[in-house]
Amino acid sequence: MIYEVFRQERKGQAFQHAGSFHAPGRDFAETYAREFYGRRAESVALWIVPRDDVVAIEDFADELGRTYHRVDGYSLKGKLREARERAGNA
């Protein structure tokens, strides 16, 4: 079975994907993870996840063009200029 490993380098940091390895079960996976990513104190915590249990999402369709969810849905520049002009602050 393939396990994916995520490691945290220092307390408070985000976990980052570190790599993957083969292991015949959880005990081996734990030992391998410690040996691969922990034996030089390079990690303060590890997450070990069977690859099959990782749900990957890679397509983000936006058929409805819902720009109000995004920064590009709000163009303030022109409006701001106009509002300043109207207020006599241009």
Which residues form the interface with other proteins (CB under 8 A)?
A: 1-2, 17-22, 24-25, 28, 35-37, 40, 42, 56, 58
Question: DSSP letters along 15-70, please?
Answer: PEEEEEEE-SSHHHHHHHHHHHHTTTS--SEEEEEEGGG---------TT--GGGS
* Cβ closest to other proteins, residue 17 vs residue 81: 17
* Cβ closest to other proteins, residue 58 vs residue 86: 58
Task: State in angstroms the smallest separation of the CB of 21 from other proteins.
Answer: 6
Q: How far is CA 40 from its chain centroid?
A: 25
Task: State in angstroms the smallest separation of the CB of 4 from other proteins.
Answer: 10
